[in-house]
Chain A
């Protein structure tokens, strides 16, 4: 119980962001609610904003959880499904499926995204046992370069509006969120999230190095399930929302500021921070240049990168982290 009390401020922050999100935007909903047109306002809120909010929260939670799992597993605080190239692998697979399967089949794209993500994850997981953290990041950079090359190829032949759509999707966007999609993501992600909660309870030995962890009883099957969970979570998020980066990187970092150390204790703050980041980013993305809606992944990148660079340069243990 004291655990929840310690993080009460974060829960409150999350609730405040949700309320801000629901009642802000291109229509002044609060005023409408209090006036006679409350029917219209409720409809606006329920049909447009709630699915979007649900999608944002779920995607944020998925990516944050995936980032925490990856950071714990690789022992590297810079791990993130975007930086490691997992999101790029999923994005390449989904792009290929979009190019060759022209119908708007969410299931087909989801399968492609999952396949791409899991394939990349297997490779990264295999490599992470042999590579230094820097080399892992280099692989992720290489995959990003590959994605850029593919994108440039696409750019040469496609129409302008198609390019706009692809760019939007690649940056991580909630436009076109509808109820079925949000519910789909929630239903698919919830079991994996629960599984991750159960798994993180076992991950405390990972705070030490790998050999000690194994000696303390952490089985390699647990590690494998964690890796799979991380991959599936990021694949789900990428399929639903696009190739978001930095949430899996930033959310655990921000969660560590609350003073928790073990992965199990870090899970709640991480999930909350993931939700808060996504919700606030989408709020800004929707309202900054209204009526044009920017993809919220861009806002996360633009605000997240300076924050992360600041964190990186400030911490003296950066040497230990990167060596």
Chain B
């Protein structure tokens, strides 16, 4: 060693750091399990652990006996489990999208919900309603997904038309402009056809309710494949953020990395919004918090973002149902209550002199 080791760097402190690193993951997983339990048990029929156990155990039996299951188990299997899985997947998806966007733009103030994808979804839903098409849950999901992908695709095309293709500041600005554009179109249609307001207001507030179980495999497919590709893209993202020249000289095409990551962000956000409606601030808060907890190493940061995203969504949903079980309050409310001051604190902390 060319330098003397730091006087306090003993073997014990090394061990302590190691334990602390693993402890954080342990704490995260524990909090996740706790929020899973909360999400399953809280709500209008307030359930207990015994109901949960019975539901898991007696599923096989009652299939054979075809007796009528008690209401608690029905609630669990038909409503709560799909809701939980949807919450975990969409939370992790928003966490991943936020991570990718913040890494790419190197700015913790960016959020994937402001790229116009959410507003594109809303527009598609209002259009579908006005055209008089039947609004089954699957139809709603497909329409919202198509709207989200359309908005995302438009953004992608505009970014390609941009002279400086890797410019994230243009991305943010274009995203904000597209969001205003789609929001203006949606508001026009809502004002022209005021019946549509009733149809869409519940979706617009963002909620995990009424997620049909048929959609879950599609959602899982999209989310999990995007997560896998994100892990694969991590080296590329790291290199691209060090500068275009360095990345090119190391053989990675910055444009290709940029485009693939953008597609991932838009796909993840689109799928998440199509299922739950717009729940803001998740993609903003989660990656920053994850970085504070586990540090800047990309794979750890991504994994923590996924975990934290799932935790936040499930926790917000569970808390909302625990605190106000008989209303249809949405998880957006606790998200906004945490997220908005957080955002302001972030700005203050980052930019005070």
Chain A interfacial positions (CB closer than 8 Å to B): 78, 83, 127, 130-131, 134-135, 137-142, 144-146, 148-149, 152-153, 155-156, 160-161, 163-164, 167-168, 170-171, 245-246, 289, 292, 294-295, 297-298, 301-302, 305-306, 308-309, 312-313, 316, 318-319, 322-323
Q: How large is the interface on B (under 10, 10 to 19, 20 to 34, 35 or more residues)?
A: 35 or more
Which of chain A's residues have a CB closer than 8 A to the CB of B114? 141, 144-145
- Asked if B330 and A156 make an inter-chain contact with CB atoms under 8 angstroms apart, the answer reads yes
List 9 tightest A-B contacts by C-beta distance, closest first. A301-B184, A149-B336, A305-B181, A138-B109, A134-B169, A322-B169, A152-B205, A298-B184, A142-B343
CB < 8 Å: which of A164, A301, A316 contacts B197? A164
Is B333's CB within 8 Å of the partner chain A? yes
B167 touches which of A245, A289, A294, A319 (Cβ 8 Å)? A319
Contact across chains for A149 and B329 when beta carbons are under 8 A apart: no
> Does B163 contact A313, Cβ atoms closer than 8 Å?
yes
A interface: dominant SS: helix
Whether B255 sits at the interface, judged by CB under 8 Å, is no
- Which B residues lie within 8 Å of A292 (CB)? 191-192
Who on chain B is nearest to A156 by CB? B205
Selecting from B125-133, B143-151, B170-178, B224-232, the interface stretch reads B170-178
Please judge, given known A-B contacts A164-B191, A298-B184, whether A316 and B206 are in contact too, CB under 8 Å. Answer: no
- Greatest chain A CB density within 10 A among B169, B172, B197, B201 is at B169
- Picked from B170, B172, B188, B340, the residue with its CB within 8 Å of the CB of A138 is B172
Enumerate chain B residues within 8 angstroms of A140, measured Cβ to Cβ: 176
Q: How far is the CB of B76 from chain A (nearest CB, A)?
A: 26
Let me know if B170 and A312 touch, CB within 8 A.
yes
> What number of residue pairs across chains A and B have CB atoms under 8 A from each other?
143
Which single member of A144, A294, A306 contacts B181 (CB below 8 Å)? A306
Complex interface bits, B340-353 against A, C-beta within 8 A gives 1, otherwise 0 = 10011001000111
Interface string of B153-186 (1 = CB under 8 A from A): 0000010011110010110111011101101110
Assess whether B181 is in contact with A155, with CB atoms less than 8 Å apart. Answer: no
Residue B121 is within 8 A (CB to CB) of chain A in the complex:
no
Tell me how far the C-beta of A73 lies from the nearest C-beta in chain B, rounded to whole angstroms.
18
How far apart are the CA atoms of A56 and B80 in the complex, in Å? Answer: 52
Residue of A nearest to B200 (CB): A155
Complex A-B: 28 CB contacts under 8 Å: A83-B176, A127-B347, A130-B351, A134-B169, A134-B173, A135-B347, A135-B351, A137-B172, A137-B176, A138-B110, A138-B172, A145-B280, A146-B340, A149-B340, A152-B205, A153-B205, A153-B333, A153-B336, A156-B329, A160-B197, A164-B190, A167-B190, A168-B191, A170-B187, A289-B192, A301-B184, A305-B181, A319-B164
